[in-house]
């Protein structure tokens, strides 16, 4: 065991075990709060700890655990790190999930976290339910960056590193061969993680070396019925070729859109009258005098023009009806020949903000 500075008093009541390093819950006497002190284990390269420090320090995300301090030995070598302590159990304690709304929110939070890690130019390399927890405010946090690597480094490693069942096919090479990888390995591990959240355990096919995907790993065939486009995107996360997997930002955005399903609101102002569309009022007819009628609708995700008499322009661009609205815009009915008699309808689209 390393020599922990006096500032950090071991807290005997709590204990924790990390993947690559040993972890101790301590009380930071300067700030009177619990912290996690992780020490480098014998025989594990120093590189892993410095990788974790570089990774944690470079990512600014509310979904990534906060790093506070490092611990050095007498010769000045880094032998441990001090980070935010999260009480409670990891994500394995909540599986299987059978509530779609809860599942979508958790999957969205995980996707947000991985997208943040990727936008900081990092690869986590060990995404799995055991490396995620909720903090006291219900915010999902990803930890154990012991294997994290900068995406710009020569991302290659000897032999397979990671956790069985979560490792993308390109990581499964013989011990002496070099495995080359990209951020897409986290995307693959994300899919395995959420599959475990739904099923409670990973199918045998994913544990094979190299892994394969069969019906049990097909998101369209799970006990929890997912929206079709979500299931299809999740399936693409398991693509054999890394470049065929979606970017995590795209996964995040699709999940975010579904969380807001039926929660949008559009306010239209036409000829001084206000109209509204929302989940309980999905269609509206706006009468425009001699220009006829404009019909708008809401399908739970988007607003659209269903029908109109005469030419229709959105933000001054003529469109073919039916037409999906781009968000806040101005709809104009009537061609330029109507001059000042054209009708302008301002549309303002808003929604509750999902702050996780």
Partner 1 sequence: MTMHHAGEVIADRYEVVRFIGQGGMQEVYEAQDNILIRRVALKCPKTISANRRFARSAATAAKINHANVAKTLDYIPDTAHPFLIEEVVDGCDLSEFMKEHVPTLDPYSCAQVIHRLAKGLAASHHAGVVHRDIKPSNIMVVGGAAFTDVKITDFGIAKMAEVELDHAVNGGEEALTQSATALGALPYMAPEMIESFTDAGRAADVWSLGAMAFELLTSKKPFGAGYRAVPLIQAAVMPTLPRDQAPKAQFAALTNQIYDIIRTCLSRDPSVRPTADGLVTQCEALCYSDARRQYGFVDSFNHRDDGFIRTDSGGSVFFHQNSVPYGRVEIGQRVWFSRHHGAPRDRAFPVVRAR
d(CA 95, CA 108): 16
Out of 116, 126, 144, 186, which one is annotated catalytic?
A: 126
Pick from 3, 31, 204, 287 the residue near partner 1 by CB under 8 A.
31
d(CA 227, CA 158): 39
d(CA 259, CA 12): 41
- Burial label for 93, CB within 10 Å (0-12, 13-18, 19+), is exposed
When asked if residue 33 is in the footprint of partner 1 (CB under 8 A), the reply is yes
Stretch that binds partner 1, among 28-36, 115-123, 173-181, 201-209 (CB under 8 A): 28-36
The yes-or-no answer on residue 250 being catalytic is no
Residues 99-158 that bind partner 1 (CB under 8 A): 135-137, 139
d(CA 132, CA 134): 7
d(CA 149, CA 53): 11
When asked if residue 296 is in the footprint of partner 1 (CB under 8 A), the reply is no
Secondary structure of residue 311 in the 3-state scheme: coil
Pick from 283, 322, 326, 336 the residue near partner 1 by CB under 8 A.
326
Nearer to partner 1, 74 or 176 (CB): 74
Comparing CA positions, the residue from 273, 283, 277, 284 lying closest to residue 343 is 273
Q: CB atoms < 10 A from the CB of 201, how many? A: 10
Pick from 316, 320, 337, 339 the residue near partner 1 by CB under 8 A.
316
Burial code of 38-48, b = ≥16 C-beta within 10 A, e = fewer? bbbeeeeeeeb
Alpha helices in 180-331 (DSSP H): 184-199, 204-207, 228-237, 248-259
When asked if residue 267 is in the footprint of partner 1 (CB under 8 A), the reply is yes
Pick from 18, 84, 249, 259 the residue near partner 1 by CB under 8 A.
84
Nearer to partner 1, 30 or 243 (CB): 30
Pick from 244, 317, 324, 335 the residue near partner 1 by CB under 8 A.
317
When asked if residue 271 is in the footprint of partner 1 (CB under 8 A), the reply is no
When asked if residue 351 is in the footprint of partner 1 (CB under 8 A), the reply is yes
Only one residue has tokens 């986290």, namely 186
121 and 150 Cβ atoms separated by less than 8 Å: yes
When asked if residue 53 is in the footprint of partner 1 (CB under 8 A), the reply is yes
Nearer to partner 1, 54 or 100 (CB): 54
Residue 198 is encoded by which pair of tokens?
Answer: 């739904």
Pick from 14, 68, 120, 236 the residue near partner 1 by CB under 8 A.
68
When asked if residue 349 is in the footprint of partner 1 (CB under 8 A), the reply is yes
- Burial label for 153, CB within 10 Å (0-12, 13-18, 19+), is exposed
When asked if residue 253 is in the footprint of partner 1 (CB under 8 A), the reply is no
Pick from 46, 221, 225, 330 the residue near partner 1 by CB under 8 A.
330
DSSP of 125-140, one letter per residue? S--SGGGEEE-TTS-E
Only one residue has tokens 């988007």, namely 302
Residue 344 is encoded by which pair of tokens?
Answer: 């302008």
In the bound complex, what is the minimum distance in angstroms from residue 204's beta carbon to partner 1? 39
Pick from 315, 324, 335, 336 the residue near partner 1 by CB under 8 A.
315
In the bound complex, what is the minimum distance in angstroms from residue 352's beta carbon to partner 1? 6
When asked if residue 348 is in the footprint of partner 1 (CB under 8 A), the reply is yes
When asked if residue 57 is in the footprint of partner 1 (CB under 8 A), the reply is yes
Annotated catalytic sites, by residue?
126
Q: In the complex, which residues of this chain contact partner 1 (CB under 8 A)?
A: 30-33, 53-54, 57, 62, 66-70, 84, 135-137, 139, 263-265, 267, 269, 272, 274, 314-317, 326-330, 346, 348-353, 355
């Amino acid at each position: 065991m390393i020599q922990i500075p006096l500032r950090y008093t071991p807290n005997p009541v709590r204990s924790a075990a990390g993947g690559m390093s040993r972890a101790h819950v301590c009380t930071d006497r300067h700030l009177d709060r619990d912290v996690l002190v992780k020490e480098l284990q014998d025989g594990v390269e120093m590189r892993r700890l410095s990788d974790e420090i570089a990774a944690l320090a470079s990512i600014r995300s509310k979904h990534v655990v906060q790093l506070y301090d490092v611990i050095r030995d007498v010769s000045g070598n880094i032998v441990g790190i001090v980070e935010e302590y999260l009480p409670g159990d990891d994500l394995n304690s909540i599986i299987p999930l059978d509530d779609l709304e809860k599942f979508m929110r958790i999957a969205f939070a995980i996707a947000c976290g991985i997208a943040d890690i990727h936008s900081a130019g990092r690869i986590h390399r060990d995404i799995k339910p055991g490396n995620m927890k909720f903090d006291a405010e219900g915010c999902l946090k990803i930890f154990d960056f012991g294997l994290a690597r900068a995406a710009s480094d020569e991302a290659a490693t000897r032999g397979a590193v990671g956790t069985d069942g979560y490792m993308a096919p390109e990581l499964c090479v013989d011990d002496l061969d070099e495995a080359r990888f990209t951020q897409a390995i986290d995307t693959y591990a994300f899919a395995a993680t959420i599959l475990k959240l739904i099923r409670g355990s990973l199918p045998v096919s994913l544990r094979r070396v190299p892994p394969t995907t069969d019906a049990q790993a097909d998101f369209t065939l799970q006990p929890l019925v997912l929206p079709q486009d979500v299931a299809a995107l999740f399936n693409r996360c398991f693509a054999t070729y890394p470049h065929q997997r979606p970017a995590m930002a795209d996964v995040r955005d699709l999940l975010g859109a579904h969380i807001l399903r039926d929660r949008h609101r559009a306010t239209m102002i036409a000829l001084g009258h206000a109209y509204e569309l929302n989940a309980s009022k999905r269609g509206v007819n706006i009468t425009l005098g001699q220009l006829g009628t404009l019909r708008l609708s809401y399908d739970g995700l988007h607003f659209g023009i269903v029908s109109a008499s005469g030419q229709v322009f959105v933000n001054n661009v003529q469109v073919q009806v039916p037409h999906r609205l781009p968000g806040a815009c101005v709809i104009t009915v009537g061609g330029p020949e109507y001059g000042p008699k054209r009708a302008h309808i301002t549309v303002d689209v808003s929604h509750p903000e999902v702050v996780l």
